Amino acid sequence: MIAVEVELLHGVLRLAGSDAAVTGVPTTGEWPPSPARLFAALVAADGTGRHCTVTDGSELEWLESAGAPELIADDRDDVLVSPVTPRYVVDDQRAAGTVQDYPARKATMVRPGVRVCPRRPRVVYEWPDATPPAHVVEGLQRRAARVGYLGCADSPVRMRVATTPTNPMEEDDAPAGAARSAASRRWRVGEQGMDVLPVPWQGSLAVLDDAYERWRAGQPVRRAWLPTGHARYTAPHTRRDDADETWAGVWLRLRPALDGRRVRLVTETLRAAVLEHYERHVAGASEQVPAALHGHGYTGTGLDHAYWLALPDVGHRHARGRILGAAVALPPAARLGVSADERAHLLEGLRSALWHVRELVAPGAFRVQVEPAGAAGQRVWSTHPRRWTQPARRWASVFPVVHERFTGKGLDLDEVARWCAHAGLPAPVGFRASRPPLVPGGVALRAHEARRNAAGRRPFTHVEVTFAEPVAGPMALGRLRHFGVGLMAPVDDTPNPDTTVTAQEVGQ
């Protein structure tokens, strides 16, 4: 085996995600730092070909053909993200408008970036099955010793190359509560992984050499113009044996916030926008859009399809029920009626479609900007996946539940159990119903806001459901659950400390 260990000397990295090179919009930064970024740093440490001074370059040829490494790094939930304040630097050119104390120079704004701060300031890139020759190991060690930073130049690092298994995450200097085994922090390569990172590929050296020569010749070169290899990774907290039995989805932030009464309009607008871009950029034709997204064409019973959710601010004394975000959630593969690989490809296509959705527009109602839920400095608790997925015994509706049928005898436990069965949930052991909301900030809807058309006269009410054992979300009940009406939130009095975020994540 061989591993490259990277220590973040300042505890932070300033780097943009690979999508920022194309869009130019703020992102959550790149975490974990991609193997392609490590490869580029090693290339820059001593050059290639005739530019090499302490190596012969053969170690880079070996590395680009070694395949994607496994990573040992913090999960994204253990990484703080903060935007860099826009700042000005001196432009070394004469100009009419000058900067005080810098004669004949003007100020130029530097585009703000993103800093990521992991709980543990170390990242390990490991090739567990590789057996490199001695000269390759020596060459990589020489290059690693010459690397001063990763990402931007104000993110200093220290690198070393190891050929024996190490567990750098359990050292004596670990902060309190941060000591976790390397196995619990390992990002594994696999086709079913939900995270995609740039990786080196056979041909990476030729691409970088060509870009360097064009730059030396005075030609423009941009990172977005260079081809890149990619690999799928499974995050540390995703168990491989039950990953197919959990929900997956994409979480979004909406700006500005919207009145909670617009829940159905928000989710219908989001659904229409995503399906349009999925047809145009992913499927190519309307009949090729999977039924798992739009819900039409299913035969038989027991199958489910995508949930389009609006995420309100609820659950605390200052909550007002305003919609701060949205999500597209996919049920487990078995309930979608597809294989695990098909769901992974469906999720990737969904992300590709959402990449083109920059705003949601409902004429005469609203126009909001759409960005990733974890965008730098914009994470709020209402748009954090754990807000809606953490296991709990008691769940309460934040938007009222539209009854699935007329019973003529009022709402009882059997009818609520029927709703839960249709949503793929276990039978509850208790419930309570209320016309007003049961959680702070819960939204009370009018009839035309809760129902999709005038013909639907089914009653709607807020409910709180109690299960015998903790149940994980996201959870939505009732006839309009796929459009977010009937969204439930965990309301246990004693939340699990392992799934409780910090005050920084709760604050807006």
pLDDT for the residue numbered 16: 75
pLDDT for the residue numbered 184: 78
CA angle 149, 153, 154 (to 5 degrees): 100
pLDDT for the residue numbered 185: 87
Confidence of residue 333 (pLDDT cuts 50, 70, 90): confident
In the chain, % of residues over pLDDT 70: 81
Q: What share of the chain is helix, strand, coil (3-state, %, to 5)?
A: 30, 25, 45
C-alpha distances in Å from residue 48, one per residue of 45, 214, 267: 9, 15, 52
The domain ranges of the chain are 2-85+114-234, 243-506
Q: Distance between CA atoms of 186 and 164, rounded to whole angstroms?
A: 17
Please compute the mean of the pLDDT values over residues 126-141 and round it to a whole number: 94
Query: Residue for token digits 């000397």?
Result: 9
Tens digit of each residue's pLDDT (9 = 90 or more) over 196-238:
889 999 989 999 999 989 998 999 888 777 888 888 888 887 6
Confidence check: pLDDT of 106 > 60: no
Q: Distance between CA atoms of 325 and 257, rounded to whole angstroms?
A: 8
Tens digit of each residue's pLDDT (9 = 90 or more) over 297-313:
776 667 889 999 999 99
Question: What residue type is 215 in one-letter code?
Answer: W
Q: Which of 52-61, 108-117, 381-390, 469-478 has the lowest mean pLDDT?
A: 108-117
Q: Give the number of other Cβ atoms within 10 Å of residue 150's Cβ.
A: 21
Burial of 340 (0-12, 13-18, 19+ CB in 10 A): middle
Close Cβ partners of 171 (under 8 Å, ≥ 6 residues apart): none
Confidence check: pLDDT of 491 > 80: yes
Question: What residue type is 71 in one-letter code?
Answer: L
pLDDT for the residue numbered 368: 95
Peptide bond into 32 cis (omega under 30): yes
Cβ atoms of 491 and 463 closer than 8 Å: no
Instruction: Give me the residues paired with residue 360 across strands.
Output: 368
Closest C-alpha among 369, 390, 368, 388 to residue 380: 388
pLDDT for the residue numbered 285: 86
Domain 2-85+114-234 adopts which CATH fold?
Alpha-Beta Plaits (3.30.70)
Higher pLDDT among residues 284 and 439, named by residue: 439
Cβ atoms of 399 and 475 closer than 8 Å: no
Q: Distance between CA atoms of 347 and 250, rounded to whole angstroms?
A: 8
pLDDT for the residue numbered 241: 44
173's torsion region: left (phi>0), alpha (psi -120 to 50) or beta? Answer: alpha
Q: Distance between CA atoms of 208 and 43, rounded to whole angstroms?
A: 9
Cβ atoms of 48 and 204 closer than 8 Å: no
pLDDT for the residue numbered 335: 85
Higher pLDDT among residues 63 and 100, named by residue: 63
pLDDT for the residue numbered 97: 52
Please compute the mean of the pLDDT values over residues 473-489 and round it to a whole number: 93
pLDDT for the residue numbered 410: 81
Close Cβ partners of 359 (under 8 Å, ≥ 6 residues apart): 367, 368, 369, 370
Q: What are phi and psi of 333, to 5 degrees?
A: -55, -40
Q: Give the number of other Cβ atoms within 10 Å of residue 35's Cβ.
A: 26
C-alpha distances in Å from residue 445, one per residue of 198, 218, 404: 45, 62, 17
Mean pLDDT of the chain: 82
